[in-house]
């Protein structure tokens, strides 16, 4: 592929195909080399260099920093919606109610807002908001707008 040349969709497809073919050839060569090493066959100078290079690349890709889990899953029970509705009907501000529920369940305020349908992606938010509205009705009030 040439530099500074506008790439059309066909150009992208061709470059993708060439890259895939090259990657498949390289993978095949390395697998054959690994088999030769496993079988105890002698390597020529080229094969030794290729094996050494592949091992060095693999070593360079080892990350010394442990990946951390994404965090503990939210443990907010569904009754948090009813607790929120009761607090709001008792005159507690929206933010204060969210903060208190976050403390109760030992989660972030963002997790509480998602559970209540106050934030989040559209389909999930709508489902959670509908359930929070139902909690308001169960508590004897009207859903928030």
C-alpha 19: how far from its chain's center? Answer: 27
Mean local confidence (pLDDT), 104-109: 89
Tell me if 114 sits within 8 A of 106, measured CB to CB: no
Greater confidence, 8 or 39? 39
| Environment class of 76 (CB within 10 Å of its CB; exposed 0-12, middle 13-18, buried 19+) | buried
Tell me if 125 sits within 8 A of 69, measured CB to CB: no
pLDDT, tens digit, 9 for 90 and up, residues 48-104:
999 999 999 999 999 888 877 666 666 888 889 999 999 999 999 999 999 999 999
Residue entry with tokens 């195909």: 17
This model's pTM is above 0.85: no
CA dist 32 → 9, 23, 25, 26, 42 (Å): 35, 14, 11, 10, 13
Range in 27-41, 65-79, 93-107, 120-134 with the lowest mean pLDDT: 65-79
């Amino acid at each position: 592929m040439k530099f500074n040349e506008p790439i059309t969709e066909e150009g992208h497809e061709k470059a993708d195909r060439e890259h895939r073919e090259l990657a498949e050839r390289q993978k095949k060569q390395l697998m054959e080399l690994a088999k030769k090493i496993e079988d105890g066959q002698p390597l020529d100078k080229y094969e030794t260099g290729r094996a050494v290079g592949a091992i060095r690349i693999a070593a360079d890709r080892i990350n010394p920093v442990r990946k951390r889990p994404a965090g503990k899953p939210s443990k907010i029970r569904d009754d948090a919606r009813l607790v929120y509705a009761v607090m709001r009907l008792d005159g507690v501000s929206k933010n204060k109610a969210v903060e208190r529920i976050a403390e109760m369940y030992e989660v972030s305020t963002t997790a509480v807002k998602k559970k209540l349908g106050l934030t989040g992606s559209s389909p999930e938010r709508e489902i959670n908001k509908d359930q929070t509205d139902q909690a308001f009705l169960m508590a004897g009030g009207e859903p928030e707008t």
